[in-house]
Amino acid sequence: MGFREKKGFFGRLSERIGDVIMGRAAIDEELFDELEEVLITSDIGMQTTLSIIDTLRDRVKNEYITEPEKVKEKLKEIMIQAVDKGDRQKMSETYPLVIMMIGINGGGKTTTIGKLAAMYKKQGKSVLLAAADTFRAAAAEQLTIWADRVGVGIIKHGEGADPSAVLFDAAQAAKARGVDVLICDTAGRLQNKKNLMDELKKMNRVLGKEFPEADRETLLILDATTGKNAVSQAKEFGDAAELTGVALTKLDGTAKGGIAVTIADEFDLPIKFVGVGEGIDDLEVFDPEAFIGGIFDE
């Protein structure tokens, strides 16, 4: 996958894990302590790290592992299991499909919508965008630029309009045009603003009433560079909407990337996409084995 070519996070974490294990004659508690420190300082949360290390310690004991190099193999297996959500890892393939895109401003939401629209269009699907972030100045204009670039339609109202009204019109248009995928932008003010969360709930009610035949995905857009702040965003937005997955943006070599493991494990949320650059094709379907393999493979 392309994000493995970005190095950064993968190279640093792989090297640090290698440093802990290399040249060690035996497996001892110090080894587990050092691995724990490496994971925590790579943006993997405390709760997830402790779970990973406890599982590792148990498997080393129960499988009679005595070679430090084998510890690395087991750690890789455990981390893959932490991020792999099985069938939930894939986006719904039932159409029509509505994809609600939520997340704070500056997280890469608008860009991800454009890239996702391009991805579906390449698959031969008809796509419509809904510019329901009516609170941020120029949000609709920015989304329109992406719609024009990709070659898909867009439904928008004026700045300050009711987001649910935009979504209502978008749902009606999607039904009338027989659209396969409706991708809806939403307001991205700070996650602790209660009125924003109320608005998201209202929009979901509108969809349930006006477009009940459509399948639904609700993706939380998280900036990988924000580290542990992304955890609070996942909690707050998860309380307001039934999240079906995460798109992790800006995983371009500057981010530690361990936040993907934390979000997947602590919130039981599949990471469905990763953004690895600014180009229109720089959105990739998340592959748990390739992602974790990028940490461990030479």
How much is the pLDDT for 6? 46
Annotated binding residues for GTP, written as ranges, equal 103-110, 185-189, 249-252
pLDDT at 189: 66
CA atoms within 13 A on the CB side of 281: 4
Nearest CA-CA partner of 152 in 169, 177, 132, 133: 177
Q: Are 266 and 45 in contact (CB under 8 A)?
A: yes
Question: Chain-wide mean pLDDT for the chain?
Answer: 88
Q: Is 4 a residue whose pLDDT tops 60? A: no
Amino acid letter, 1: M
Question: Domains in the chain and their CATH numbers?
Answer: 2-86 (1.20.120.140), 93-243 (3.40.50.300)
On whether the CB atoms of residues 154 and 138 are closer than 8 A, the answer is: no
Q: What is the mean pLDDT of residues 70-78?
A: 92
Q: Which residues are annotated as a binding site?
A: 103-110, 185-189, 249-252
220-256 per-residue burial string, b: 16 or more CB within 10 A, e: under 16: bbbbbbbbeebbebbebbbebbebbbbbbbbbbbebb
Confidence of residue 194 (pLDDT cuts 50, 70, 90): low
How is 31-48 classified by DSSP, letter by letter? Answer: HHHHHHHHHHTTT--HHH
pLDDT of 92-123, one tens digit each? 999 999 999 999 888 889 999 999 999 999 99
What per-residue confidence (pLDDT) applies to 57?
Answer: 96
Confidence of residue 56 (pLDDT cuts 50, 70, 90): very high
pTM confidence score: 0.90
For residue range 219-261, list pLDDT tens digits in order: 999 988 887 788 888 888 888 788 999 999 987 654 557 888 9
pLDDT per residue over 278-297, tens digit each? 889 999 999 999 888 877 76
The mean pLDDT value for 55-69 works out to 93
